[in-house]
Structure 1
Amino acid sequence: MRDEVFRRLRDAIVDGTFAPGEQLRDAEVAAWLSVSRTPVREAMLRLAEAGLVVALPGRSTMVSPLHVRDLRDARDVVAALHGVAVREAMSRFTRPDIDAMREANERFRAALDEGDVDAALRADDVLHAIPVAVAANRALAAVLDQYTPVLRRAERMRFSTTAGRASIARHEQLIESCRTGDSEGAAAVNYDIFHSLSGTEIDQNR
């Protein structure tokens, strides 16, 4: 129950259901999710640790504004850890893993063609989750799970514009490097994919 409440709140913040600056009152959120206030409070604490909400003492909790510094801090951590993940996974990739990454990139391409940002984000998640799963590093996965949602709000903005199409070619480079066993090449591309979120997306959407 706690994990489900956390995921639903996190996703609602990332997809814009709850806008930056919007107040989240425990009782109202609990009623919306049809749960008690206890898992809501616990989820709020986890969301605060991830930087997605800010506690307002004696009042309520507010969805964090989109700050460039917060994005860049999360970006640096996420970019570095995806590089670690792909290095650790390199000797363990199977052909089905590579095929699954290709299929995810094709879904990503199709979603951008159709202007379906939600589908593009889901496909992007699937693609990048494969090296993380193959690496099987639980500590790495836990940190990524905490900080990736911060970037998702910026990626949503990027994928809604033509700039998002650059990720298709980067994905293809990543997949080819994984196929050929080029760990350094894969790590470099993976790092570039995430580190290219420079804050421009937020600056342009304030």
Structure 2
Amino acid sequence: MPIPKDFSSPIRMSAKEKAFNQLQRWIIDGTLTPGEKLYDGEIAEALGISRTPVREALQLLQMQGFVETFPGKETKVTTISKKDVLKIYSPLASLQALAAEEAAKIITVDQIEKLKEINLQYESAINNEQHIKAMETDEQFHYLILDIADNPYISHFSSILQLHIRRLKYVFLQQPVTSKNDSLKEHELIIKSFAERDGENASQIMKQNWLRPMEEVYRVLD
């Protein structure tokens, strides 16, 4: 298992948090590839911690679906399949649609302006072909709407699903991207719906904003 030697590690974290965050990051960005075997001793040595927090971190990652453990045999990074695309995107689309509907009821003028600002940054990243920046700005747009909706249950389950989708996006970003302008226009329509206090329309467009890329990623993994 190739453990990077030059990674930057956050400070003031417990050993378990350090292992969990670093391993999750490596799995999401593809440093640790699907199906790759994980050895707690090697990870512990690379991170400068003992094996116990590494094992605890692997248990948490297993609960989130990033690794799978076969007792007495091995632990490895979960693979990515076409079926996973439908299983991850569909529930997230519904959660995000609900968040948009709830946000439309309470969103402020300042929050609408902030969404417009983020969307301009998203447009700039698209036009400059900054794919990673575009992905991060898109996530920022959606996270703000979750914050506005102010429902911790929607936020919690969305955050886990979005981590899996980020992993899929790293695969997707290796392919030609043709739909970013569609996403940009959908963001604009969502903002317009918020300004009009039209929660139903915001919900419908938000759902479309997730189901359309689901179909594209599904085709890429064919």
TM range, smaller chain: 0.7 to 0.9
Q: Assess if the C-alpha contact under 8 Å between 2:30 and 2:170 holds in 1.
A: no
Alignment CA distance shift 1:56-1:134 (3 Å): same
Q: How far 1:30 sits from its partner (Å)?
A: 2.8
User: Do structure 1's residue 59 and structure 2's residue 73 form an aligned pair?
Assistant: yes
Gaps of 5+ in 2: 1-13
Q: Which one-letter code corresponds to 1:119 in the other structure?
A: K
Aligned equivalent of 1:10? 24
Q: How far 1:66 sits from its partner (Å)?
A: 1.1
Secondary structure of 1:162's aligned partner: coil
CA distance in 2, matches of 1:133, 1:4: 26
Q: How far 1:85 sits from its partner (Å)?
A: 1.1
CA distance in 2, matches of 1:3, 1:46: 10
Alignment CA distance shift 1:7-1:186 (3 Å): farther
Gaps of 5+ in 1: none
Secondary structure of 2:179's aligned partner: helix
User: Larger Cα Rg: Structure 1 or Structure 2?
Assistant: 2
Aligned equivalent of 1:106? 120
Secondary structure of 1:62's aligned partner: strand
Residue from 167, 192, 208 that aligns with 1:176: 192
More deviation, 179-188/12-21? 12-21
Q: State the TM-score, normalized to the length of structure 1.
A: 0.87
Alignment CA distance shift 1:19-1:173 (3 Å): same
Count of residues in correspondence between the two structures:
206
Secondary structure of 2:72's aligned partner: coil
Identity of aligned residues (%): 27
CA distance in 2, matches of 1:86, 1:52: 28
More deviation, 72-81/58-67? 58-67
Q: Which one-letter code corresponds to 2:42 in the other structure?
A: E
Residue from 84, 90, 96 that aligns with 1:70: 84
CA distance in 2, matches of 1:103, 1:69: 35
Q: How far 1:126 sits from its partner (Å)?
A: 0.8
Aligned equivalent of 2:100? 86
Q: How far 1:186 sits from its partner (Å)?
A: 0.8
Q: Assess if the C-alpha contact under 8 Å between 1:68 and 1:199 holds in 2.
A: no
Aligned equivalent of 1:147? 161
CA distance in 1, matches of 2:85, 2:67: 14
Aligned equivalent of 1:187? 203
Q: Assess if the C-alpha contact under 8 Å between 1:66 and 1:202 holds in 2.
A: no
